[in-house]
Amino acid sequence: MDKVKVFLAVLGKYHFWLLCGLAVILGTFGWMSARGSLSADYQKNKSAVTGTFSKLTGVTGTANPPNENWTAAISELTKQEQKEVEATWNTVYDQQKKVLAWPEVMGSDFNTWITTRPPSEEIPNLYRQNYRTEVLPAEFPKLAQIVQAAPLGAETRNTPAPGQPTQPGARPAAAPAEPAAAAPSAPVRVQWENQEAVQKSLQFTGNIAPTSFEIRLRQEDYWVYQALLNIIRKTNDAAPHVPYIKAIEDLRLGAKAADLYTKGMAPGRIDKIVTAGGEGASSLPVESLVPPAEGGEAPPPDQDRYLQKDGTALPAGTAQTEQFKRLPVYLKLVMDQREITRLLTECANYPLPVEVRQLRIMPSGGSSQPAGRGQGGGAAPTAPGAPRPGEAYDVSVEISGIIYLFNPPDPAKLGNGAAETQSAG
């Protein structure tokens, strides 16, 4: 007890200094604790601010910044667009079906069968044999009739208009012309010069029935030739007397047209203008541009036939998986240059529209046309050797373009409408 009294006496004597030391110790401890807590809060708040700033920076750098409803909204918009595309696809396909009729010579049974079956279904052997033997003789003459060209193999003689001289070595006049035989026939308005080459391209070789795929491709060729010739006919229908298009020098489609299209798209392409029979004159090949594969096996029928959107060849066997097929076409015509815009308009307005990608106009001094082309009935003669009225405006026109052939509508090819998740960061 005495020791406690001594301790309390000392504490009472020095309590001021003891309290001062205790205050310093407690203050130091409190300061350090507060400092640590503030530092932790600072780092926490700093991280939150930095993260928010980073997100805002990512949003400002994004063209279409997503939000909470972005994915759902884009998916709904995509589905609406798909419905519109599908409706348009059906409309265009129905319009094309009106001009894509199978040959009547095949009979109603075949036409009912082929129009109710998917394109991938195998055509019965009997139908394929009949197509090989019956279609070309029955359908090819109709192509020449579209433009009022002389039938293949028919010899024609021209009937010059009164007072219209004929020139030695001149090409037969475009109108009128009659078969060499005395039997009456429709006047010839257009000369179709590569008619034989077109006929050969439509023939099947050998006695074996062609495959279903080959028949569908061959019928597609007929449809496209019909479209091109109808475009020419519609252009000439506006001509009161002398046809605007007087000669068809060349018609091509598929691989043969694609080769010319590719060459025409090459950068820096400049052709040397050549005169008839002059140095540098060239003739366009008519043989297949697709070489046989090793071992003598024939390449796929649709190799290099269709184009992709960048103008390169579509891989064989993939055209049916697309929404439409891009088939290149090529026309070389002799026509009145004043009516070229009319021809281009008809190309755009036909149910199988031709998207013109290249147009070349060869002036009379640089074309291969001989004198005497483009004569019109009733034209008055001019000085010997001088071009007749109408012929002075005739030029050789080359058109390379693409015909779009739509496959049967298939909503599965339009996707499922799901929007891709886009992160902001």
Question: Does the pLDDT of residue 243 top 70, yes or no?
Answer: yes
pLDDT tens for each residue of 208-228:
899 999 999 999 999 999 999
Which pLDDT score, from 0 to 100, does residue 265 have? 65
Higher pLDDT, 154 or 262: 262
Which pLDDT score, from 0 to 100, does residue 66 have? 64
Higher pLDDT, 1 or 122: 122
Comparing 228-242, 326-340, 374-388, the range with the smallest average pLDDT is: 374-388
Percent of all residues in the chain with a pLDDT value above 70, rounded to a whole number: 72
pLDDT range class, residue 417, cuts 50, 70, 90: low
Which pLDDT score, from 0 to 100, does residue 313 have? 84
Phi then psi dihedrals of residue 120, to 5 deg: -85, -10
Higher pLDDT, 310 or 263: 310
CATH-assigned architecture of domain 102-161+172-268+301-376+387-411: 2-Layer Sandwich (3.30)
Per-domain boundaries in the chain: 1-59, 70-99, 102-161+172-268+301-376+387-411
Please name the helix (run of DSSP H) or strand (run of DSSP E) that holds residue 64, with its range, or none.
none
Comparing 21-25, 152-156, 184-188, the range with the smallest average pLDDT is: 152-156
Which residues does residue 400 pair with via DSSP β-bridges, in sequence order? 330, 358
pLDDT tens for each residue of 22-77:
888 888 888 888 877 777 888 888 888 888 877 777 666 666 666 667 778 888 88
- Can you tell me the distance from the alpha carbon of 211 to that of 201, in angstroms, rounded to the nearest whole number? 16
What residue has token string 């700093």? 46
Question: Does the pLDDT of residue 127 top 80, yes or no?
Answer: yes
Identify the CA nearest to 192 among candidates 140, 242, 258, 138.
Answer: 140
Higher pLDDT, 308 or 412: 308
Which pLDDT score, from 0 to 100, does residue 67 have? 67
Higher pLDDT, 324 or 423: 324
DSSP 177: E
CB 191 within 8 A of CB 333: no
- Whether the full predicted model's pTM is greater than 0.85, yes or no, is no
Question: Does the pLDDT of residue 85 top 70, yes or no?
Answer: yes
pLDDT range class, residue 172, cuts 50, 70, 90: very low
The beta-strand segments (E) located in 135-286 are 156-158, 177-179, 191-192, 245-253
Average pLDDT, the chain: 76
Higher pLDDT, 278 or 189: 189
Which pLDDT score, from 0 to 100, does residue 348 have? 92
DSSP H helices, 61-161, are 70-97, 107-115, 125-147
Which pLDDT score, from 0 to 100, does residue 267 have? 65
Higher pLDDT, 410 or 156: 410
Question: Does the pLDDT of residue 80 top 50, yes or no?
Answer: yes
pLDDT tens for each residue of 130-143:
999 999 999 999 99
pLDDT range class, residue 229, cuts 50, 70, 90: very high
Which pLDDT score, from 0 to 100, does residue 36 have? 77
What residue has token string 């090989």? 132
**Mean pLDDT computed over 251-266:** 79
